[in-house]
């Protein structure tokens, strides 16, 4: 139980720090004329992620059913996702955000993980939303939020790609970069 409490606190602090970074980046970008997109689904995404933490706290914290037998591998996977998260945030620099905020006429990032995949942060979050509940045998949390996350991404990614395509050199830079399954637009 102590491991869960410490783990949960680390996650909470991490998310707060990320929100502080995102807010700072948002102000910097908007001062330079950036526009925000997808405000309606952003609220839904925040609710999903908040509910994930509440569900995890209830299922793994209150109805504690122990740690997964393969916890060492899951913890290693979690640590890898955190390294990936740091790679994403550092690659995007001031352009990283939890919101879809686009600064018109800027060149999109095509380095770091973005050299290999158009939306590495969504991949990292998806893996995280599987590993974290699995680590604590929180199977209902795993199933419910794996589905909800994919549903919100099916809305969010096309909005983000449309905004980036209209405002930046996104389509040219990422024409052949792999994207997210289910969100690819078919060329006619």
pLDDT tens digits, one per residue of 125-150: 999 999 999 999 999 999 999 999 99
Q: Do the Cβ atoms of 109 and 170 come closer than 8 Å?
A: no
Cβ atoms of 135 and 67 within 8 Å: the answer is yes
pTM exceeding 0.85:
yes
**Chain-wide mean pLDDT for the chain?**
93
* CATH no. of 2-173: 1.20.120.1630
Q: CB neighbours of 92 closer than 8 A, spacing ≥ 6?
A: 109, 114
**Both structure tokens of 105:** 């006429």
Q: Which token pair is 152?
A: 């919100």
């Amino acid at each position: 139980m102590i491991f869960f409490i410490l783990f949960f606190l680390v996650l909470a602090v991490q998310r707060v720090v990320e929100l502080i970074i995102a807010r700072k980046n948002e102000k910097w970008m908007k001062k330079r004329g950036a526009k925000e997109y997808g405000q309606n689904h952003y609220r839904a995404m925040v609710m999903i992620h908040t509910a994930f933490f509440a569900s995890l706290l209830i299922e793994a914290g209150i109805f504690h059913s122990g740690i997964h037998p393969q916890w060492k591998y899951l913890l290693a996977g979690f640590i890898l996702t955190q390294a990936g998260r740091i790679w994403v945030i550092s690659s995007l620099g001031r352009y990283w955000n939890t919101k879809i905020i686009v600064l018109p006429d800027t060149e999109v990032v095509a380095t770091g993980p973005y050299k290999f995949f158009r939306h590495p942060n969504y991949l990292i979050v998806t893996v995280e939303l599987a590993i974290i509940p699995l680590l604590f045998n929180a199977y209902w949390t795993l199933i419910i939020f794996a589905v909800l996350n994919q549903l919100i991404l099916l809305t969010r990614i096309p909005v983000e790609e449309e905004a980036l395509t209209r405002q930046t050199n996104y389509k040219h830079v990422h024409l052949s970069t792999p994207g997210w399954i289910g969100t690819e637009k078919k060329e006619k």
